[in-house]
Copies of this chain bind each other. A is one copy, B any other.
Amino acid sequence: MHWTDKLHAILMGVSDLTNRIDIDARLLAASNVKLDRALLPLLSRLALHEQMSTVELANLVGRDHSTVSRQLAKLEDLALIERVPSSGDRRVRMICPSAKGKALLGAVAKVRRQWIEAHFRDWPREDIDQLISLTGKMMEGLDEVSLGGIEMIETRSA
């Protein structure tokens, strides 16, 4: 098995794991938080970026902006996010978690931290550091809106 295939298999596993709705469900339950399962991933991403526009977030999660727009409306109804007019561009309303949203995320993060720590209990500290360092390096430039380097192969023909 080629190393790229091995890596891809692992990444798929990671993806499946973080997408398992039952995990989010358990996380929310354990945090005593009630929230539509589709909204937590969105809120979690927002927390990592300080401020984002609707389109940026849509690109990040790979869905149509209209879909994200509707989900954001729900989050706003729940007062979990705030929308700030962008200083430079009056078309965009930047989005960020509200105090309430941050509190919710904090409660969830607390439980998740326990889970992750339990999972890595037997790991040497340097392995954990290496893991974070290398995966972080791998994601550099890829977690942004565009796909960067991957564009080097032309696929527009289709």
Q: Which residues of A contact B (CB under 8 A)?
A: 2-23, 25-26, 28-30, 41, 44-45, 48, 60-62, 109, 111-120, 127-132, 134-139, 142-143, 147, 149-150, 152-153, 155, 157-158
Contact = CB atoms under 8 A, between A and B. Distances in A.
A119 B151 CA distance: 10
A135 B10 contact: yes
19 contacts: A3-B128, A3-B129, A5-B113, A7-B116, A7-B131, A8-B116, A10-B139, A11-B14, A11-B18, A12-B48, A14-B14, A14-B18, A15-B15, A20-B147, A22-B147, A23-B150, A114-B153, A115-B153, A119-B149
A17 B142 contact: yes
A155 B29 contact: yes
* Copies per complex of this chain: 2
B8 A112 contact: yes
B117 A4 contact: yes
Contacts of A113: 2, 4-5
A16 B115 contact: no
Given A4-B116, A17-B139, A114-B153, 13 more contacts: A2-B113, A4-B113, A6-B136, A7-B131, A8-B109, A10-B136, A12-B41, A12-B48, A13-B139, A19-B61, A26-B158, A28-B158, A118-B152
